[in-house]
Chains A and B, each alone.
Chain A
Amino acid sequence: MNLLFWLACATQKVQLETFETTWTVINESFPYEDFNGTDWNAVHEEYLPKAKKAKTPEELRPILNGMLSELNVSHLGIIPQEEYMLLNEQLDEASDSEQETKSSSGDGSAEDSTSSTTEDVNSPEQGWAGLKARWIEDQLVVTQVDGNLISESVQTGSVIQKINGTSIEEVSNRYENDREQQFSVGILAERSVFGDVGEHVVLELLDENDQVVEKTLPFQKGNVITSGSFANLPATGVSFVHEHLEGNIDRIAFSSFLMPIRSPMVTAFEEMSEAPPTGLIIDLRGNLGGLIALGQFLSSYLISEPDLDLGEQISRDSNLFLTIHPRPSTLIYTGPVAILVDELSASTSEVVAGGLQELGRASVFGQQTAGKALPSGIRELPNGDRLQYVLFDLKKISGGRYEGDGVIPDYAVQRQQKEYVNGIDPELAAAVEWIESLNTNIKIEDVETK
């Protein structure tokens, strides 16, 4: 009996230590000493009595998340220990089957050395179910279908009602704020259609005749590259597409700014330098970000002038400019650039779109971006859970912040389900029309400008 009492006391003590550690980490590292106008000491006093009552991590988590939400920023939260244990198991399995990776050769340039890191052969192979969906007109609409991957009769414009048995309506009802609803439902859809090859996703769809149909879609490799477990992130599926559209317009699209996109990006710009298109569309819709340096790298193919910046990275003890270091002039694309963004374009995507927009190098089409652009770190807490905490803030060159407002497109595109039913991608169509108008001096119509 005494032992049980002692154990209970010890566990409670650990929860209290976890509370204090969480508060202290934020107190010492939050990018702004005024805590965005929040009295952080008062927050401590408010949540301490609740934390003292918590006996388990499960009881403490909502208290900590409540305390962190007082700061009203993204990239702050508690990650349960169980999620991390799962990741560690994956990592252990990966290291057991570790293989020698090819080391760099040639003149030692980074171009050579990264070839070994573009794809992780040790992590579970990632695949895509072949579709994308967005929250449009209060429903989850299929906006893109890859005919090469989907043999089932899934059409763009179809409405998804359930994903793996989860009701989309129920999920959407959890959010009062339209923007948050759009983001959260969109993220659920985006994450559900990527997974380990061999697994699948089950969708309940409403077809064009309003009939409910269930589709089981396997995750297939397609053009998905498996990214390694970089910086404690689990293995991720990353896709990169470079395609030639009608009218000599090129489109590059990629799902994140992780290392596997670098090599195909280099190839894409090399090809474009040999046969320059009349316009380039960079599709960052659904791109949740990644390494900011890769955003600088992409921009370095579009800007020839030195010492220009995409933004500024601010922390308590630093202000670093996200400088673009131009590639050799023969590789720089000098034609018109349109960037497509939507409510799921976050973090590095916002810095690239917003930075190039402010520099006057690109026009941005689509939807207001997520406004979730705070680089963060993850550290272990005394009770085994992990704290994700903000390391820096990202500022625009014009002085504004990416967090919150995100990027407002130059051309906000109205999306309607019926367009997708008719096989039209309105955001892509607007960008194509803009590039064609530049070449023919025709004014853009049917595009709502801000």
Chain B
Amino acid sequence: MIELLLWTQIGCAKHKLKNEVVPTPQELFDTFQQLSVKEGLEAVELLNIHTVGTVEMALMPDPFSIDSWVIHDKGSLTTIEISGVGTIVEGYNLEHAWTLDPTSGDRLKSEAELKSAVKDFNRTFVKNYSELYEDAKVVGLDKLEDQEVWKVSAVDAVDKTPTTLFFSKETSLLAGEHRTVPQGKGSLKMKVYYDDYTWVDDMYMPMKMTIKTMGIKQLFTFNSVTINTAETPDIVVPESIKVFITEDVGDERDEAEEAKEAEETEEVKEAEEADKPEEANETDETDKTNETDETEDVEGTKVQESAE
């Protein structure tokens, strides 16, 4: 009799889950994004966002202050003040990305770090969540800190790393993410939880964000969020970074010159085997490759490509 009762209960539970209408990932993305904007997604075009807040972190007695600008036609600039350490600045001006770091030193970002800065910037202005993820699948219902959530597994479209998204079943808002974030040659897994969604002008945004990674919990509290401010700051490459850009360009120039010299040597060898009139033409060509303008064009293209 007891077995029968248990079987019935389990059977009912299964039946209930079966009857649950499982949304598609796109439906979850769309619902959340429509909810995020008062008059619907199409009504507001995000041009810039300015966030001011604090970060409380285990191990640190005082909270950090954080001030962040993301401006669609200028780039992004985040300033974090850490007591006992100094000011950390993360900048991106649509061409170069940099860090002013009082511990490990100021540096120009390149390769994976630059890619990550570009990705974070683009993410702010994305209109459709499906652009951010590939192979999204709704895994089912789950529990996230006492709330029922739809669990979506996906792959980050840029990094190709696994990501899990949690959308509240009750509110349809994004409640959390488990991400793998590339960090230079390594990576770290990060659990991010969003809370205290509030209307900021026409946008519905989380005022609290908790990040758990490397055994450390960080609580971000945003005291002020403003969007589409008329006047925005200019995002200028700091002097301490300019020297790295000059050296970077210099290195590329060296590489370009070395490549051309090697090419030249090869051409000279070929020319030696060729007849005299052709040799004269080769010389003209060699002179042309030494022109500074052309070298600079090559460098400019390289820098632009890496920034994109």
Asked whether B105 lies within 8 Å of A325 as measured between CB atoms, the reply is yes
Asked whether B58 lies within 8 Å of A377 as measured between CB atoms, the reply is yes
In the complex, A415→B39 CA distance in Å? 78
Asked whether A116 lies within 8 Å of B86 as measured between CB atoms, the reply is yes
**Residues of the A chain whose Cβ atoms lie less than 8 Å from the Cβ of B277:** none
Can you name the residue of chain B whose Cβ is closest to the Cβ of A108?
A: B238
Is residue A210 within 8 Å, beta carbon to beta carbon, of the partner chain?
no
Q: Mark B252-269, 1 if CB is under 8 A from A, else 0.
A: 000000000000000000
**Residues of the A chain whose Cβ atoms lie less than 8 Å from the Cβ of B187:** 318-319
Answer whether A315 and B101 are a contact pair too, CB < 8 Å, given A321-B185, A379-B58. no
Is residue A323 within 8 Å, beta carbon to beta carbon, of the partner chain?
yes
Is residue A42 within 8 Å, beta carbon to beta carbon, of the partner chain?
no
Asked whether A377 lies within 8 Å of B84 as measured between CB atoms, the reply is no
**Residues of the A chain whose Cβ atoms lie less than 8 Å from the Cβ of B106:** 109-111
Range, interface on chain A: 35 or more
Is residue B278 within 8 Å, beta carbon to beta carbon, of the partner chain?
no
Answer whether A110 and B84 are a contact pair too, CB < 8 Å, given A294-B103, A321-B185, A392-B214. no
Asked whether A318 lies within 8 Å of B189 as measured between CB atoms, the reply is yes
Asked whether A317 lies within 8 Å of B185 as measured between CB atoms, the reply is no
Can you name the residue of chain B whose Cβ is closest to the Cβ of A379?
A: B58
Answer whether A300 and B104 are a contact pair too, CB < 8 Å, given A321-B185, A379-B58. yes
In the complex, A329→B243 CA distance in Å? 9
Can you name the residue of chain A whose Cβ is closest to the Cβ of B87?
A: A113
Can you name the residue of chain A whose Cβ is closest to the Cβ of B108?
A: A325
Is residue A320 within 8 Å, beta carbon to beta carbon, of the partner chain?
yes
Q: Which chain B residues numbered 45 to 101 have a C-beta less than 8 Å away from chain A?
A: 58-61, 83-89, 100-101
Q: Which chain A residues numbered 2 to 39 have a C-beta less than 8 Å away from chain B?
A: 28-29
The total number of A-B Cβ pairs within 8 Å is: 132
Contact of A327 among B105, B183, B184, B213 (CB under 8 A): B105
Can you name the residue of chain A whose Cβ is closest to the Cβ of B88?
A: A110
In the complex, A226→B141 CA distance in Å? 54
Asked whether B86 lies within 8 Å of A114 as measured between CB atoms, the reply is yes
Range, interface on chain B: 35 or more
Answer whether A110 and B214 are a contact pair too, CB < 8 Å, given A117-B84, A259-B86, A320-B184. no
In the complex, A117→B87 CA distance in Å? 10
In the complex, A287→B106 CA distance in Å? 25
**Residues of the B chain whose Cβ atoms lie less than 8 Å from the Cβ of A116:** 86
Asked whether A323 lies within 8 Å of B247 as measured between CB atoms, the reply is no
- Residue among A229, A230, A377, A391 facing the most chain B CB atoms (10 A cut-off): A230
Q: Which residues of B are at the interface with A, using a C-beta cutoff of 8 A?
A: 58-61, 83-89, 100-107, 110, 183-190, 213-216, 238-241, 243-244, 247
Q: Which residues of A are at the interface with B, using a C-beta cutoff of 8 A?
A: 28-29, 91, 104, 106-111, 113-114, 116-117, 120, 228-232, 259, 262, 291, 293-294, 296-297, 300, 306-307, 309, 312-313, 315-321, 323, 325, 327-329, 377-379, 389, 391-392
Would you mind naming 24 contact pairs between A and B with Cβ atoms under 8 Å apart?
A104-B87, A107-B238, A109-B241, A110-B105, A110-B106, A113-B102, A114-B85, A114-B86, A116-B86, A117-B86, A117-B102, A120-B84, A230-B85, A232-B60, A259-B84, A291-B103, A297-B105, A313-B186, A318-B183, A319-B188, A320-B188, A327-B105, A377-B58, A391-B216
- Pairs of residues from A and B, 8 with the lowest C-beta to C-beta distance, nearest first: A293-B103, A318-B188, A109-B240, A317-B189, A230-B84, A29-B215, A113-B87, A293-B104
Given contacts A107-B238, A259-B84, A317-B213, 13 further A-B contacts (CB under 8 A): A91-B61, A104-B87, A106-B239, A107-B240, A108-B100, A113-B100, A114-B102, A232-B61, A259-B86, A262-B102, A317-B189, A321-B183, A321-B185
